[in-house]
Amino acid sequence: MKKPKFLLLFFCFILNAAFIFSQENFPHFLEGKWKVEGQESYEEWTKHGDITLKGISYTFKNGEFKLNEYLDIKVINKEVYYIPTVIGQNYNQEIRFKLRKVDNSYNFENPLHDFPKVIVYKFNSRDTLGIVVSDGANKKFSYRLIKQIAMAKDSSIKNKNYDAELAEKLGADELGMKNYFLVILKTGTNKTTDKDILQNSFRGHMENIHRLAEEGKLIIAGPFLTKNANNYRGIFILNTKTKEETETLLQSDPAIKNKIFDVEIYPWYGSAALPEYLPSVDKIWKEKP
């Protein structure tokens, strides 16, 4: 039986409109270091498994490093997303752009975002990319990325001590760094003087610190030694990937849950080797706090 022409056209439209993910069309070519043409601005991407790329956008001028964005491209529920987290914008929250089209360019879209709504990575050649950032209409800007000579791969030139296996295990980028979340604990809104509530909250607070450290989620914890005008009481550095994960983890602390402590949360960029000191923690205390 011959199918109606309009059904065939509709079927073709659906095939073209739907993006079907496969490892072959994942943008592996981004791996490495790229420089914005004519500027001291860079993107660096590292591969984490077959379907995840992690990157940073930064400037390096007159010996000064400034981190601008955390970047991710990964598969979530069989869809590919480009996920920037811009420092100092959008309350430091990630914004997801879904991959909509692949030919010689990768079109990532988020029609609900104010600007941009569309980010396009156009593959010009092995060593050049064209980037277009737009609102999907008339407002846009563009630039070119030029691939740089590989850094971390050539350990004999850049770092004779480079351990690729360790760097992969720790999730280190090309600079040996990674993303964390810095949490500042401060005096909370709960001013209770009930001794049982306070005692149970602080006991649970310490037990939770030890538990999270054993799980590798809490990297650094410690109190301020003097009073201060901001009522800051201490800090955590958490080995978490998103603010939402951080907030959920913090609610496992009774002192935070009971508002004995309030918190301020900030994305933080530091050495990926920080967790390596944790195995030593249990070897140096005489009395457990």
Q: Among 16-25, 188-197, 209-218, where is mean pLDDT lowest? A: 16-25
Q: In terms of C-beta distances under 8 Å and separation of at least 24 residues, what long-range contacts does 231-235 make, across chains too? A: 231/186, 231/187, 232/184, 232/185, 232/186, 233/185, 233/186, 233/187, 233/261, 234/184, 234/185, 235/182, 235/183, 235/184, 235/185
> Torsion angle of alpha carbons 263, 269, 271, 274, nearest 10°?
20
How do 52-61 and 41-47 pair as beta strands?
A: antiparallel
- Using alpha carbons only, what angle is made at residue 66 by residues 62 and 70, rounded to the nearest 5 degrees? 150
Q: What is the mean pLDDT of residues 239-268?
A: 94
pLDDT band per the 50, 70, 90 thresholds, residue 223: very high
Start-end ranges of CATH 3.30.70.1060 in the chain? 177-281
| pLDDT reading at 271 higher than 60 | yes
Cis peptide before 116 (omega within 30 of 0): yes
| pLDDT reading at 165 higher than 70 | yes
Q: Report CA torsion sign: 42, 46, 50, 52.
A: negative
Can you give the pLDDT at residue 15? 37
Say how far apart CA 181 and CA 265 lie, in whole Å. 7
Can you give the pLDDT at residue 17? 41
pLDDT digits (tens, 9 = 90+) for 8-55: 443 333 334 444 555 666 888 888 899 999 999 999 998 887 788 999
**CATH topology for the 20-160 domain:** Lipocalin (2.40.128)
Start-end ranges of CATH 2.40.128.20 in the chain? 20-160
Q: Which pTM value belongs to this model?
A: 0.53
Q: In terms of C-beta distances under 8 Å and separation of at least 24 residues, what long-range contacts does 256-261 make, across chains too? A: 256/185, 256/188, 256/205, 258/188, 258/190, 258/197, 258/201, 259/188, 259/189, 259/190, 260/188, 260/190, 260/192, 260/198, 260/201, 260/202, 260/205, 261/185, 261/186, 261/187, 261/188, 261/205, 261/233
Can you give the pLDDT at residue 256? 96
Domain 177-281, what architecture? Answer: 2-Layer Sandwich (3.30)
Residue found under tokens 């879209």 = 109
31, containing H or E segment? none
Of 20 and 281, the structure prediction assigns the larger pLDDT to 281
Can you give the pLDDT at residue 163? 81
Residue found under tokens 């498994």 = 49
Can you give the pLDDT at residue 117? 95
